[in-house]
Amino acid sequence: MSVTIIIGGQWGDEAKGKITDAISEHADMVIRPNGSTNAGHTVQIGDDVFKFHLVPAGILRPGCDCVIGAGVAIPPADLIQEIDELQARGIDTSRLYISDRANIIMPFHPLQDQLEEAQRGSHNIGTTLRGNGPAYADKAGRRGVRMADLLDESALVERLNLTIPEKNATLTTLYNQPPLDISELLEQFAAYGEKLAPRVIQAEVLVQDAIEAGKSIIVEGAQAAMLDIDYGTYPYVTSTSPTAAGVCQGAGIGPTQVTNVISVYKAYTTRVGGGPYPTELLDETGDLLRKRGVEYGTSTGRPRRTGWFDGVAARYTTRLNGVTHAAITKIDVLDTLAEIKICVGYELDGHTVRAPQAVADVYGRVKAIYETLPGWQEDTTTCTSYDEFPTNARRYIDRLEAVIGVPVVMLGVGPAREQLLWRKQVDFS
C-alpha cells in the first residue's frame, strides 16, 4: 500500500503527467486534487499524444480508478468534451469518478476572469482566463455551486437564486455587461448534471476505502508550488494550494496517510503569465530553450518564459512540501549547450537572501547568483539507462540533487513514455 503525491516544484509545466503515467503502471487509483482546465498534462505513448485538463492521466492504465477530487473546479461542458474525446479514441472511462463536493465553473467565471484581468492593466496576472480565480473566490465566499447541486434541482435553484442576483449586480453595474438568466442556467446545468450523474460520488469515501484496503494511490497535483496562493509569487499565482498539503485536502487524504512526495522539476525553468522570475533568460539561450523544449502552454498555447534552473526556489519548495524524491524532466532540451548555469543563491540589495520574497516587486529585484557547469553536447534522447548518460550530464544531475536536497530518482529525456530513466530505482506501488 502506498499514497504517492506528485507535485510541481517550480512554476508549472514540469511534465508531471509523464511521471504520473510512469508510476501509475501498478497504481490502483489516480486522483486529480486541485485546479481546473487551467492545467494541461501531456502524455505521449508511441505516436499518440494525450492532453489532459481535468481527467487524471491514470485513465490510460486499464483497471486504474480515476478520481476528480473535491478541490477541483469543474467546467462541466469541458469535462464532458474531454471524456467524449477519450472515449472516441478507445479509452475506457468507466472508472472515472467525480467528487460531489467539487465546485463548478459557471459561464460567468471565465467572463469575470477576463474583465478582472483587463481591469488590472499592466499589473495583470496573465491568468489562463478559464475562470479559475473567480470560481475559487466564490467557493471561499460560500457562493459556489457544487457538483452535487447539479443532480438536485431544488438545490440548484436555491444556489443559483443566491448567486446570480449578486453576479448580475456586479456584471451590470461594474462591467456594463448584460445580466445572466437564471432559468437558462438552470436548464443548461441540470442537463450537464444528468450526463455526469453516473460518475458523481462521495469521492473521499472511495479514496478512504482504497487506503483502508491497502491500495496503491497516486495524487496527481496540477500547477506547482511556486504558483501556490500562500507560498508562491503572490499575486502572480493560481487560486489553489498546489503544495503537498494542499493536494491532500483536495484529494480527501490526511497528512499521515502519505507515503511519498515526488516533486517534479524541469532541468531548467519556465513560467507563463506575469510575475517575478530571477533566472529568466531574455536572450538567444532563452529562445533556444523555448524552441527545443516546445515551451508553449498546453491549455492556452501561450509562449512560456524560460530561464536557468533556480536552485533557491527549488530548495524552498522541496522543504515546504516535505519532498521525499525528485524527478528531473526535459534534460535533453539542454543537449546542445556548451555551458549551463544553475542559480545557487539570491542577492537582494547587496545582501544574500535564502528564499523567494513575499512582495512581488522585492522578489523582482533579487539577482540570481550562478554556478556555471560545462554542457555535454551529446544526444541524451536515446539513452536507455542512466549508465549511458554523458559524464557532464551526470555531473549536472548530481549538482541539481545536491542543490535540491533530496534524491533525484527519475530523469526525463524526451516526450515518449520510454524516454524516462530511473537513476535510482524506487518501488512506489
Given the complex with ligand IMP, which of 83 and 227 has the nearer CB atom?
Answer: 227
Q: Which of residues 196-225 bind ligand IMP (CB under 6 A)?
A: 222-223
Q: What is the pattern of x (binds ligand IMP, CB under 6 A) and - over residues 237-266?
A: -xx---------------------------
**Nearer to ligand IMP (CB atom), residue 134 or residue 311:** 134
- What burial class does residue 285 get, using C-beta atoms within 10 Å of its C-beta: 0-12 exposed, 13-18 middle, 19+ buried? middle
Neighbour-count burial for 79-107, b at 16+ CB within 10 Å, e otherwise: beebbeebeeeeeeeebbbbbbbbbbbbe
CA-to-CA distance for 312 and 352, rounded, in angstroms? 11
Among 32, 61, 130, 423, binds ligand IMP (CB under 6 A): 130
**Using the rule CB under 6 A, which residue among 2, 6, 7, 13 binds ligand IMP?**
13
Site string for ligand IMP, 31-70 (x = CB under 6 A): -------xxx------------------------------
Candidates 130-138, 326-334, 336-344, 351-359; binding stretch for ligand IMP (CB under 6 A) = 130-138
53 is catalytic: no
Whether the CA torsion 97, 101, 104, 109 is positive or negative: it is negative
The answer to whether residue 269 forms part of the interface with ligand IMP (CB under 6 A) is no
Tell me whether residue 76 or residue 273 sits nearer to ligand IMP (CB atom).
273
Please say which residue, 122 or 425, places its beta carbon nearer to ligand IMP.
122
Calpha distance 377→398 (Å, rounded): 17
> Please, what is the minimum distance in Å from the beta carbon of residue 427 to ligand IMP?
29
CA distance 374 to 101: 51
Q: Does 126 bind ligand IMP (CB under 6 A)?
A: yes
Min. distance of Cβ 317 from ligand IMP in angstroms?
Answer: 14
Binding span for ligand IMP by CB under 6 A among 120-128, 287-295, 311-319, 410-418? 120-128
41 is catalytic: yes
Q: Is 227 in the site for ligand IMP (CB under 6 A)?
A: yes
Q: How far is the CB of 209 from ligand IMP (least distance, A)?
A: 30
133 vs 311 by CB, closer to ligand IMP: 133
Stretch that binds ligand IMP, among 233-241, 252-260, 282-290, 407-415 (CB under 6 A): 233-241
Q: How far is the CB of 222 from ligand IMP (least distance, A)?
A: 6
38 vs 103, beta carbon nearer ligand IMP: 38
Out of 9, 12, 75, 144, name the contact with ligand IMP by CB under 6 A. 12
Among 60, 55, 66, smallest CA distance to 28 is for 66
CA pair distance 207, 180, nearest whole angstrom: 37
Of 21, 28, 41, 228, the catalytic one is 41
Cβ atoms within 10 Å of 264's Cβ, excluding its own: 27
By Cβ distance, which residue is nearest to ligand IMP?
273
C-alpha–C-alpha distance, residues 303 and 281, integer Å:
13
Q: Which residue stretch of 128-136, 316-324, 350-358, 396-404 sits at the interface with ligand IMP (rule: CB under 6 A)?
A: 128-136
Residue 132 as a binder of ligand IMP (CB under 6 A): the answer is yes
Residue 362 Cβ vs ligand IMP, minimum distance, rounded to whole Å: 19
The residues annotated as belonging to the active site are: 13, 41
Residues that bind ligand IMP (CB under 6 A): 12-13, 38-40, 125-128, 130, 132-133, 222-223, 227, 236, 238-239, 272-273
